[in-house]
Amino acid sequence: MEVVIAPAEELAVLAADAIEALLRRDPAVVLGLATGSSPLKVYDELARRHREEGLSFARARGFMLDEYVGLPAEHPQRYRNVIETEIASRVAWPADQVLGPDGLAADIPAACSAYEQAITDAGGVDLQILGIGTDGHIAFNEPGSSLASRTRIKTLTAQTRVDNARFFDDDVEQVPTHCLTQGLGTIMQARHLVLLATGRQKAEAVHQLVEGPISAMWPGTVMQLHPHATVLVDDAAASRL
Ligand code: GLP
């Protein structure tokens, strides 16, 4: 596991550099996309390179990590819409080349299996962008998630619902109770994992991720087993290392 400690702007440039290098080598690269605030500066940097330097996503494919269950299709916090707003529309990424788990599916287990199959059919994810929750979750794999898990429905913890209430008018009651998420086993199959974390509130999760024992109680620790994992953190998030 490679750990880089630098200011947030530099971290975003490093992550964008890794993505650009893949895109230049193979325009049909498969990227794993994360929501949350952690990757936003990376998306800003990719949008800038698209605008000013012609970086093209025309042939790239994207797979999202997770999705809320039951949010209406037009809801701005539905992760498919967040990804459209924060990255896809800004880099002219064809909509049918960016997929996420279907949080409105009538048959949830079938939708989860179909999503796993779509990732496999695309040849797997080349680079997966990740954030980490204050409780150590990656995607929505909350503490206690099997380290071998696949895409499935999960109940959000009270802590995550409180953390995410800021996206729902600071009203925790509006935060969905369930989500679909790629499993830790799914995420571990990506060929390169790039995790970003900034701010003191992430310090304990980053400490566990890098230095803690591998444990389902700190789901991010599974990354210690990955052959190519990069952890990009600012001083505050690294303050317990
Ligand atoms: C959310 C997302 C995760 C994200 C995490 C951290 O719950 N499902 O993918 O990594 O929270 O969010 P943030 O980057 O906003 O701190």
CA distance 234 to 64: 24
Say which of 45, 67, 102, 137 is annotated catalytic.
137
| Ligand 1 contacts CB of residue 131 (under 6 A) | yes
Give the pLDDT confidence score for residue 47 in this predicted structure.
98
The span from the CA of 147 to the CA of 78, in Å, is 26
* 36 CA: nearest ligand 1 atom: 15
pLDDT in tens, 43-68: 999 999 999 999 999 999 999 999 99
Predicted pLDDT at 186: 98
Nearest to 92 by CA among 34, 49, 42: 49
Kindly provide the ipTM of the predicted complex, given to two decimals. 0.94
Is 142 catalytic? The answer is yes
Residue-wise DSSP of 2-24: EEEE--HHHHHHHHHHHHHHHHH
pTM of the model as a whole? 0.97
Burial class (CB in 10 A: 0-12, 13-18, 19+), 29: buried
Look at ligand 1, atom 12, and give the residue with the nearest C-alpha: 36
Which domains are present in the chain?
2-233 (3.40.50.1360)
What ligand 1 atom has the least distance to the C-alpha of 140? 8
Active-site residue, selected from the candidate residues 67, 86, 126, 142? 142
- Residue 239 in contact with residue 203, Cβ under 8 Å? yes
Q: Vertex 166, ends 162 and 172: CA angle to 5°?
A: 40
Confirm if 210 and 222 have CB atoms less than 8 A apart: no
- Please write the tens of the pLDDT for every residue from 92-139: 999 999 999 999 999 999 999 999 999 999 999 999 999 999 999 999
Question: Over the stretch 146-194, which tens digit does the pLDDT of each residue have?
Answer: 999 999 999 999 988 998 999 999 999 999 999 999 999 999 999 999 9
Q: Is residue 137 flagged as an active site residue?
A: yes
**Is 178 a known active-site residue?**
no
* Ligand 1 neighbour 65 (Cβ under 6 A): yes
User: Cβ of 123: how many Cβ atoms within 10 Å?
Assistant: 12
38 Cα to the center of ligand 1, angstroms: 7
Tens digit of each residue's pLDDT (9 = 90 or more) over 31-43: 999 999 999 999 9
- Pocket flag, ligand 1, residue 139 (CB < 6 Å): yes
Ligand 1 binding pocket includes 34 (Cβ within 6 Å): yes
CB atoms within 10 A of CB 52: 8
**Alpha-carbon gap, residue 33 to 39, rounded angstroms:** 9
**Residue 66, beta-bridge partner list:** 181
Q: How far apart are CA 47 and CA 25, in angstroms?
A: 19
Q: Are 176 and 68 in contact (CB under 8 A)?
A: yes
